Amino acid sequence: MTNSPASKSDSKSFGQLDKRIQHWIWASGWSELRDAQERAIPLIMEGARDVIIAATTASGKTEAAFFPILTRLVGTSGASALVLYVSPLKALINDQWQRLDELARHLEIPVTPWHGDITQSRKTRFLEDPRGCLLITPESLESLLMHHGSSLAGLFSGLLYIVIDELHTFLGTERGKQLQSLLHRIEKTLGRQTCRIALSATLGDMDGAKRYLRPENQDQVEIVISKDGGQELKVLVKGVIEGLDSLTRKTKEKQSSAAKAAIASHMFGVLRGSSNLVFPNSRQEVEYYSDRLRQLCESRGAPNEFWPHHGNLSKEIREETEVALKQTDRPATAICTSTLELGIDIGPVKSIVQIGTPPSVASLRQRLGRSGRRRGEAMTLRAYCIEWPLTASSRFPDQLREGLIQMIAMIRLLIKGWFEPAYANRLHGSTLVQQVLSVLAQYGGLTIQQLWNLLCGCGPFSAIPKIQFAALLRELAGEEIIFQDPTGLLLLAPRGEQITEDYRFYAAFSTDEEFRLVAGDRVLGSMPISRPLTEGSYLIFAGRRWQVISVSQTDKVIQVQPAAAGVIPGFDGGGAATVHDRIREEMREVLSASLTVPFLDETGQSLLQEARATYLRLNLENNWLLQDGKETRIVLWRGDRVNDTLVLMMQSLGFKGTNDGVSIGIADSTVERVKSSLASLAAQKSINPIGLAASVKNKEREKWDGLLPDDLLNLNFAASCLDIDGALNALRTHFAGQDPGVHPVES
């Protein structure tokens, strides 16, 4: 007996699919195609335009792309029809491999995953018969181009589609620029364009996404925004006040946190018995809460329901957490970093927990999309914000309850459907260095003009001035990484060959050298080498407690054994997220309004009222210069790029300043002095970005920044991190308003 047709009888898209795919849909019990699928299938089948599919998690984006792609593959004459699927994560490739393989087998289409954990024999089979679906990361694609450059045209001769999953993770990043360059290089090798399909659940700037996907002709990109949705959203934000055990914040931070213990206890009570995802803001916090929650289970003689998941844990331990989440017969909650933010299939979870402000509104939306995946089920968000008790010495950010207000603002923007757009001004100088070396490895050698034409002239680095490109080549030659032979060809020098032959070259981002943690014969994961441990010391890792038995500097191995005590180790990397102008504007709206925020608990409401009282007392609706002891505070309600830029501008005038979030603190100054200097800045028509960036000591932020010539490094930093026009416009706007007076900050 066969199931009755599951799709609507009036579905034109369903009728375009291969009969075997139709039967697979029926057998899967689908009652109809989703909105994104109905609209995307005919566009992708045509293959004449690039397509971006923007739809929530679990809305069928992958099927919207692959149903028509697989139909085209089986219907294409010739044996080499190919689709290239690019994913930001190996785990996502493995997940998609499992999802696609069953359907593709019915169609006799091979599916090949390609990353560092895949056997060479499987890769060799693809190289000998390059067809079907190739699932790959940008790093592995980089390696493929470099090592098979001479045969690339043959390998990709049947390429019909390129699918980019989780598009938002690439926008505005070095890795994203690398991928953009790789796709450009493939099409230049083939001498033709290939239909590009991008998938994302979180896009805040559709025009920016179109520019990224097809920089030279964004008008050929079609946007499919799913109309499915209207899902109920449940939100609860709990304010948590830290205990007053010491007089100074510095001392308090070294002690155990009463607030964190209270959060763990509350989570234990409300999450037990269901499956959830908990997102603290660091790997240290993942370890703390995993350990604390496991202890609470053990103290009650109950089986553990709480599992850690972050990038330093071994693949085996991460997979244990993923398996626990997929099981339907027992509850499991993962304490995780962004490793579980993307679309790995972990099954439905009841709620998402955010501890502290999330990295961005877009990230919060991506995380929230992991819950409420069953039909009729609401998306549920629980959030915790830790605030400090106010004292006579409380700082301005504490008086303004900045963390809580930012959380409220981000949730309000989420509800309004706003997400951060990708920052499009970056030059990506670091990735240009990588791509210069990669292209020379691929082709063996190129002239300067050929290299310029491929990467900059009409390529992804067109924003790099020609004079700066020439300076970069001279710098690389001076470092004996490249050289020019008598015929004019640029070639890799021995040092350049050594660099490109290292497997770490393929990544556009830098990774720290790390120690492996081993318990017996089991590898637990890794820690940055800059944080070694001594023998006999204790640590918490993988949500458990260990004692260090031995430390091998040569092998970079830390042997551990189970223990009753433990200390959370430090992890390098990361850093504070850059807050967008729109978030700070929304924070001001929250503070200036009198309406109740319905998703706050009682403590949160009290903290909000304290913040609003501070806003009124300091008349922040009109005042933007405040005297705070020996500091002057500048409150522009702008994002971090504007604030960072203004700090550098003031430093150029002899002041010492810091970006404290909502406000900028100018040390040892008065409002009158600061006001006069700001007025002189506002009167300037423009400011040289290279000169402003020259004073910054830590400009080498990305992997290959150290090889950039000084002027290009300064220009690169200014384009990535500063907003000169935004800072000047903010000053002019405030000077055009009410004249600020002297308003002391008192708690």
Residue 404 counted as domain residue: yes
Q: Which of 207, 225, 243 is the last residue of a domain?
A: 225
Calculate the CA dihedral of residues 299, 300, 303, 307 and round it to 10 degrees. Answer: -50
Residue 599 counted as domain residue: no
Please, are residues 540 and 562 in contact by the beta-carbon 8 Å criterion?
A: no
Residue 585 counted as domain residue: no
- State residue 76's pLDDT score: 81
Helix (H, G, I), strand (E, B) or coil at 247: coil
Per-residue tokens: 474: 């001279």
Residue 496 counted as domain residue: yes
Residues 104 and 213 in one domain: yes
| Among the listed residues 146, 659, 174, the one whose alpha carbon sits nearest the alpha carbon of residue 440 | 146
**569/520 Cα distance (integer angstroms):** 20
- State residue 250's pLDDT score: 46
Write the CATH number for 201.
3.40.50.300
Residues 449 and 323 in one domain: no
Per-residue tokens: 84: 């290239």
H/E segment holding residue 559: strand 557-562
Residues 140 and 157 in one domain: yes
Residue 385 counted as domain residue: yes
Residues 448 and 553 in one domain: no
Residues 52 and 121 in one domain: yes
Domains: count for the chain: 5
SS (H, E, C) 601-652: CHHHHHHHHHHHHHHHHCCCCCCCEEEECCEEEECCCCCHHHHHHHHHHHHH
Residue 502 counted as domain residue: yes
Residues 293 and 401 in one domain: yes
| Among the listed residues 260, 258, 227, 247, the one whose alpha carbon sits nearest the alpha carbon of residue 64 | 227
Beta-carbon neighbour count of residue 281 at 10 Å?
18
Residues 206 and 271 in one domain: no
Q: Strand 557-562 relative to strand 514-519: parallel, antiparallel, unpaired?
A: parallel
Q: Which of 363, 383, 416 is the last residue of a domain?
A: 416
Residue 587 counted as domain residue: no
H/E segment holding residue 658: strand 657-659
pLDDT along the chain (747 residues), means of 10: 41 90 88 89 94 82 93 81 93 84 88 90 93 95 93 93 94 95 96 95 85 93 80 92 60 63 96 94 91 94 93 86 87 89 76 94 88 78 95 90 97 92 90 98 96 95 95 97 96 97 90 79 78 68 86 83 76 68 97 92 96 96 93 95 94 90 93 95 91 86 93 94 94 77 54
Residues 120 and 47 in one domain: yes
Phi, psi of 89 (to 5 degrees): -135, 140
**343/88 Cα distance (integer angstroms):** 10
Residues 473 and 404 in one domain: no
Residues 518 and 502 in one domain: no
Per-residue tokens: 405: 């207000």
- State residue 8's pLDDT score: 47
Please, are residues 160 and 76 in contact by the beta-carbon 8 Å criterion?
A: yes
Q: Is 695 exposed, middle or buried (0-12, 13-18, 19+ CB in 10 A)?
A: exposed
Residue 612 counted as domain residue: no
* CB-based contacts of 308, cutoff 8 Å, min separation 6: 286, 287, 290, 317, 321, 334, 335, 336, 542, 543
Q: Which of 202, 225, 248 is the last residue of a domain?
A: 225
Residues 449 and 540 in one domain: no
- State residue 412's pLDDT score: 96
Residues 103 and 129 in one domain: yes
- Domain range for residue 535? 514-562
Write the CATH number for 444.
1.10.10
**5/250 Cα distance (integer angstroms):** 66
Per-residue tokens: 370: 């992991």
- State residue 511's pLDDT score: 67
